[in-house]
């Protein structure tokens, strides 16, 4: 069984497709209301044309609010966890599942958060777990409480555990990796996941804040030279920060950012969706992290800093 914590767009996508392929899934939601809706209606995944690609009835998977973790997990301890909440929810999740960290020894946790900094917090909170950092370019957009549109297929890279951990790697391959492949995900193990995380960080740091400020879809960033110029400024500042820290980067990353905009042209970024909903965004763990890295290295990232402050201020309700 795979436990998926977080029933946002990616959580629903992975839970729906895994369950439809025969994997036993236990899905943990933020609210009791969402758990009840999913238990009643199941999960529906639509393709980009609006046709139903996957539908899993509610009786095919277990679903519960995270507040019930301690009670239910004591009856059936989690062995493999896919943590699919946003970075801002990590502390709350760790608070809820902390008691299990004192008892369960052989737990594996796959972490699919944007930004950086969360892996260290998770390892500190659950030192006995094997933590697998991961990045994905799968695109999904929430349609409702229990339905999403699979807006774009992507690749999911998962960091392999250290050398000398063959038994754990084989167990992971059998229980998680093969299940993801069977569900139709393009997934691979990577010994250079840190590089993948920094690449994904830069992609998000260039695309997401500009779409949030200008209130445009991803593809519209390429519609005007001024917008592309701003993207390039953010990119160049990010590369300067990486160079100051000795982080490997590749010239191909700029074209990859442009390709992401083309491939997800009709999508709203998650940061824009959060701004429109007046919710907390991930800008602090994306652009904010780059600014803090710049400070530690004695360089500057002024465009990232301005966007960080602008977007943080957008969720303040006036009057």
Instruction: State the chain's mean pLDDT as an integer.
Output: 91
DSSP the chain: -EEEE--SHHHHHHHHHHHHTT--EEEEESSHHHHHHHHHH-EEEE-TTS-EEEEE-GGGSEEEEGGGHHHHHHHS--SEEEE-S-GGGHHHHHHHHHHHHHH--S-EEEE--SSSSHHHHHHHH-TTSEEEEEEE--EEEEEETTEEEEEE--EEEEEPPPTT-HHHHHHHIIIIIHHHHHTT-EEEEETTHHHHHHHHHHHHHHHHHHHHHHT--GGGGGGSHHHHHHHHHHHHHHHHHHHHHT----THHHHHHHHHHHHTTTPPPHHHHHHHTT---SHHHHHHHHHHHHHHHT---HHHHHHHHHHHHHTPPP-
Other CB atoms within 10 A of residue 286 CB: 28
User: Which pLDDT value is given to residue 164?
Assistant: 46
Q: 185 and 101, same structural domain?
A: yes
What is the domain extent for residue 74? Answer: 2-191
Domain final position from 191, 208, 227: 191
Both structure tokens of 110: 């796959």
Res 12 pLDDT > 80: yes
Of 7, 10, 8, 301, nearest in space to 180 by CA:
10
**Can you tell me the distance from the alpha carbon of 300 to that of 184, in angstroms, rounded to the nearest whole number?**
42
For residue 11, what pLDDT band results from cuts at 50, 70 and 90? very high
For the segment 208-219, the average pLDDT, to the nearest whole number, is 97
- Listed residues 191, 213, 229: the one ending a domain: 191
User: Which positions ≥6 away from 53 have C-beta within 8 Å?
Assistant: 45, 46, 47, 150
Kindly report, residue by residue over 123-143, the tens digit of the pLDDT: 888 888 889 999 998 888 888
Q: Domain holding 32: CATH number?
A: 3.40.50.720
- 141 and 67, same structural domain? yes
Q: Is residue 30 part of a domain?
A: yes
pTM score, two decimals? 0.88
The C-alpha atoms of residue 130 and residue 126 are separated, in whole angstroms, by 9
Per cent of the chain over pLDDT 90 is 68
Do residues 285 and 88 lie in contact, with contact meaning Cβ atoms separated by under 8 Å? yes
pLDDT recorded at residue 105: 63
Predicted confidence band at 248 (pLDDT cuts at 50, 70, 90)? very high
pLDDT digits (tens, 9 = 90+) for 266-300: 888 989 999 998 888 999 999 999 999 999 999 99
CATH (domain of 218): 1.10.1040.10
Task: Output the pLDDT for position 173.
Answer: 85
Together in a domain, 164 and 302: no
The total number of structural domains that make up the chain? 2
pLDDT tens across 152-207, in order?
888 999 997 655 455 566 788 888 999 999 999 999 999 889 999 999 999 999 99
Hey, what are 300's tokens?
A: 């500057």
Interval 37-79: pLDDT, tens: 999 999 999 998 889 999 999 999 999 999 999 888 888 888 8
Identify the pLDDT of residue 17. Answer: 97
Q: Which residue is listed with tokens 């950092």? A: 133
Lowest mean pLDDT among 6-10, 51-55, 65-69, 113-117: 113-117
Does residue 171 share a domain with residue 229?
A: no
Domain end point (choices 135, 169, 191): 191
Residue 220: partners with Cβ closer than 8 Å, 6 or more residues away: 211, 214, 227, 265
Asked whether the beta carbons of 177 and 184 are under 8 A apart, the reply is no
- Residue 240 and residue 141 share a domain: no
The CA distance from 292 to 298, in Å, is 10
* Of 267, 290, 4, nearest in space to 154 by CA: 267
């Amino acid at each position: 069984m795979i436990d998926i914590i977080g029933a946002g767009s990616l959580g629903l996508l992975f839970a729906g497709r895994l369950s439809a392929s025969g994997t036993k899934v236990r899905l943990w939601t933020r609210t009791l209301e969402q758990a009840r809706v999913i238990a009643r209606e199941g999960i529906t995944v639509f393709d980009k044309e609006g046709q139903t690609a996957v539908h899993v009835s509610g009786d095919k998977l277990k679903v519960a609010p995270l507040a019930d973790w301690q009670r239910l997990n004591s009856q059936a301890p989690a062995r493999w966890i896919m943590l699919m909440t946003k970075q801002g929810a990590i502390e709350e999740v760790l608070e809820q599942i902390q008691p299990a960290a004192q008892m369960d020894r052989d737990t594996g946790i796959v972490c699919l958060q944007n930004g950086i900094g969360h892996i260290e917090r998770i390892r500190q909170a659950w030192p006995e777990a094997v933590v697998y950092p991961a990045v994905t370019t799968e695109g999904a957009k929430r349609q409702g409480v229990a339905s999403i549109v699979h807006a774009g297929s992507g690749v999911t890279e998962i960091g392999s555990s250290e050398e000398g951990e063959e038994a754990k790697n084989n167990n992971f391959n059998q229980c998680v990796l093969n299940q993801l492949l069977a569900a139709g995900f393009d997934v691979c193990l990577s010994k250079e996941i840190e590089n993948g995380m920094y690449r994904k960080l830069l992609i998000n740091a260039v695309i997401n804040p500009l779409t949030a400020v200008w209130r445009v879809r991803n593809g519209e960033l390429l519609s005007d030279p001024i917008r592309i110029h701003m993207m390039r400024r953010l990119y160049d500042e990010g590369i300067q920060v990486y160079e100051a820290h000795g982080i490997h980067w590749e010239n191909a990353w700029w074209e990859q950012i442009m390709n992401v905009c083309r491939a997800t042209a009709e999508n709203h970024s998650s940061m824009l969706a959060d701004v429109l909903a007046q919710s907390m965004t991930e800008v602090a763990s994306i652009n904010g992290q780059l600014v803090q890295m710049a400070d530690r290295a004695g360089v500057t990232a002024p465009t990232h800093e301005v966007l960080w402050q602008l977007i943080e201020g957008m969720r303040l309700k006036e009057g």
